């Protein structure tokens, strides 16, 4: 893959904006099936987009800034606590971007990175909620009622979105 500097920073912004809108839309559309008392499966399309950009776009200098901006917007619209995703998104994006040279850009490896990123997001979110005394559920409940259904839903979304999204990013980085 060509590692020339990426100059279409606006594309990453639009890509993340569409991903965040899809997060809200897909959550709303699927809420009858994914938001149950026995477990919630929340789409993480914005995190998916951040992982793909970090892996497929070489040397995107604005990515951490976009992760902070979209983390803040995500906090305002989805989480209710300002600052959680403002810190989680850039942290995960930074780690994924640093692992880029070691991760082949094929779907099994990208899926593994996405699963690790989503698991890290869930546990970081849970840890912050525990520190702020905003939750009282146990770790086992987080794993069985939130992480497992969330991973299942996001693996299905990955299967649907991976090919078109990755091809778009590969095409944009070659032009």
Q: Can you name the CATH fold of 9-174?
A: Arp2/3 complex 21 kDa subunit ARPC3 (1.10.1760)
Structural contact between residues 68 and 91, judged by C-beta atoms closer than 8 angstroms: no
- Using pLDDT thresholds of 50, 70 and 90, give the confidence band for residue 10: confident
Residues 127-175: tens digit of each pLDDT: 998 998 888 899 999 999 999 999 999 999 999 999 999 998 888 777 6
Residues 60-74: tens digit of each pLDDT: 778 899 999 999 999
- For the cut 70, the answer to whether the pLDDT of residue 3 exceeds it is no
**pLDDT reported for residue 38:** 81
């Amino acid at each position: 893959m060509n590692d020339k500097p990426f100059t279409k920073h606006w594309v990453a912004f639009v890509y993340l904006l569409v991903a965040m809108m899809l997060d809200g839309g897909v959550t709303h559309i699927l809420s009858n099936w994914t938001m149950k008392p026995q477990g919630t499966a929340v789409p993480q399309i914005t995190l998916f987009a951040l992982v793909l950009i970090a892996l497929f776009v070489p040397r995107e200098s604005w990515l951490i800034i976009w992760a902070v901006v979209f983390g803040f917007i995500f906090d305002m619209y989805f989480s209710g606590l300002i600052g959680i995703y403002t810190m989680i998104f850039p942290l995960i994006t930074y780690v994924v971007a640093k692992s880029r040279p070691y991760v082949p850009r094929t779907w099994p490896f990208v899926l593994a990175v996405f699963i690790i990123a989503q698991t890290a997001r869930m546990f970081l979110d849970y840890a912050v909620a525990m520190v702020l005394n905003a939750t009282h559920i146990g770790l086992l409940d987080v794993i069985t009622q939130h992480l497992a259904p969330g991973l299942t839903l996001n693996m299905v979304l990955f299967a649907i979105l991976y090919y078109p999204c990755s091809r778009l990013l590969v095409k944009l980085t070659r032009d």
